[in-house]
A and B are shown apart, each in its own frame.
Chain A
């Protein structure tokens, strides 16, 4: 039982990172209508930036915020310079994001190197609660994710900005006529999603080492999460992240660990074929006008 609880906390902290990237993708894909294949690289860049700043003697939590801002700025630049030109040709945007991911991956290799990087546990505490050892950093990761999920969920579903955003997804022209600056919202969503990727990267490197190739692995899980949950559906992304984390945990413990990656791929193909709008319903992405 103790081991089970410990496993649960550990899986939850890993699932947190997956949820963060899943939310970023679900917002950018579902609400801004951009398939950003470089999103995993954004996360990796966030992790690498954190590694660099912590290595330079900075406090981890300051580095986490800075990494989030840095990747948010990266997202802003990418949206302004690249994706805004392809909003009406999502296919071209998608191909372009592949190019961007190749560039980012190899730019990181060029600046640092291709070996894995890690930081020491920034908190270094272990709490013992009822005989269960819980690594404090893992609990913090889960807590940070929970806060972000709450902010995002209520921001999308309750605030007037979220309402305007959803309006512009369901009918772009009418939303524009109502005075909603749709283009600015697209940019805003893209920056917010990128910011989450940056924070996700910082949290990830506090849990386990990452390499410049981590992004291209995690992006698939991110897409799987957002598609399970339904595009643009924040709550769905959380459910998707937990389901995927659970499946991974179970398959690692009881199934065939070498096939772990295959499960999320098969799940994704099936969902894409059978329910392209996602299991729990979503927006199906912005319609090309």
Chain B
């Protein structure tokens, strides 16, 4: 199987897999063991930051900015999912429920106790993290597909609980909140200011993901992903790390959920049910969970594609499904891996992955 020269990764594929991938070997090779030179990384980051900050001034209209906000808070949630799936190898198809925990915690605090955005945010994030850890308890016993089915069940259960929660959770109609408490001189009712609020949170999420990726902690997580028994035998506390990363993922989800709540001003159970969860899983697979910009790419593609192609909701969902199949069959590492491989082909180097790693999830 042709592999790029700096490929540290064994793809772990048996003959069938090899044949399927051989056709697009260049695009699909998983060869990001060595991070890019710091300069290139920095330039990419700066260009991206400038583009995102300048977005509201490009005069693209109200609708565009609304979709951009949706994309960004989705991406924050995706960075949590990307962390647990890409680094620790724990996939979930119930992640929207975790965002829902944050959103509902914040909304209930607002309705019952009158807490505003800033005061309820820490509580909501903490609760999401705790719930993330609790939902993660089964990972200590079962893995892989079984755990995915469990997360799906939790997500469905969460919606049932919300729907039967009476006035406390607002039942099927949901809850309303006011706007974000203004900071001195900044009124978040203005859409572009709301955008910057979400963008700041996204930068936090990106920075956290990057730091975790290059840290000892990230390496430990990847060791668990690659070989749990081996990790255990060299003295890594696997159970604690698994729960830990799921709690960090919950923090991200809580933040995303609260931002979603205060952008929409109204939440209902269907926002956090099976379908949104499946789309989160789709986005993270599409973008590539192991790449620093993968989740962001996934969110951008899924949120903007229907707009660009002018698809109605039914067609766009069919298109998502087809994209997902194509990505898994042709680009198991996601679009992020594809972009990286194109860069490699051009530079003969290797693009940035969150830390270095080999193999695939």
Q: Residue B14 contacts which of A99, A105, A216, A289 (CB distance < 8 angstroms)?
A: A289
The answer to whether A99 and B282 touch (CB under 8 A), given A91-B91, A106-B314, A106-B318, is: yes
Answer yes or no: A56 CB below 8 A from chain B CBs.
no
Answer yes or no: A125 CB below 8 A from chain B CBs.
no
User: By the criterion of a CB under 8 Å from any partner CB, how many residues of chain B are at the interface?
Assistant: 46
Please measure, in the bound complex, the distance between the C-alpha atom of A91 and the C-alpha atom of B320, giving whole angstroms. Answer: 18
Answer yes or no: B322 CB below 8 A from chain A CBs.
yes
Please measure, in the bound complex, the distance between the C-alpha atom of A259 and the C-alpha atom of B93, giving whole angstroms. Answer: 22
The answer to whether A102 and B320 touch (CB under 8 A), given A92-B328, A92-B332, is: yes
Please measure, in the bound complex, the distance between the C-alpha atom of A243 and the C-alpha atom of B255, giving whole angstroms. Answer: 41
Stretch at the interface among B152-160, B193-201, B257-265: B152-160
The answer to whether A261 and B156 touch (CB under 8 A), given A85-B329, A103-B318, is: yes
Please measure, in the bound complex, the distance between the C-alpha atom of A85 and the C-alpha atom of B14, giving whole angstroms. Answer: 10
Complex contact A269–B16 (CB within 8 A)? no
Answer yes or no: A281 CB below 8 A from chain B CBs.
no
* Residue from the set A261, A276, A285 with the largest chain B CB neighbour count within 10 Å: A276
Complex contact B321–A103 (CB within 8 A)? yes
The answer to whether A262 and B157 touch (CB under 8 A), given A91-B91, A92-B332, A103-B321, is: yes
Interface size class of A (residues with CB under 8 A): 35 or more
The answer to whether A273 and B314 touch (CB under 8 A), given A102-B321, A259-B160, is: no
A-B contact count (CB 8 A): 122
Answer yes or no: B42 CB below 8 A from chain A CBs.
no
Q: Residue A258 contacts which of B93, B164, B314 (CB distance < 8 angstroms)?
A: B164
Answer yes or no: A266 CB below 8 A from chain B CBs.
yes
Please measure, in the bound complex, the distance between the C-alpha atom of A272 and the C-alpha atom of B144, giving whole angstroms. Answer: 12
Complex contact B314–A261 (CB within 8 A)? no
Complex contact A35–B320 (CB within 8 A)? no
Chain A residues with Cβ below 8 Å from B332 are 89, 92
Chain A residues with Cβ below 8 Å from B317 are 102, 105-106
Please measure, in the bound complex, the distance between the C-alpha atom of A265 and the C-alpha atom of B285, giving whole angstroms. Answer: 26
Chain B residues with Cβ below 8 Å from A84 are 16
Complex contact B157–A265 (CB within 8 A)? yes
Pull 7 A–B residue pairs with CB atoms less than 8 Å apart, ordered by A.
A91-B91, A95-B285, A99-B322, A268-B150, A268-B153, A269-B157, A289-B14
Interface set of A (CB-CB < 8 Å, partner B):
35, 82, 84-92, 94-96, 98-103, 105-107, 109-110, 216, 220, 223, 258-259, 261-262, 265-266, 268-269, 272-273, 276, 285, 289
Q: Pick the 5 closest A-B CB pairs, nearest first.
A: A99-B324, A103-B321, A102-B321, A99-B321, A265-B153
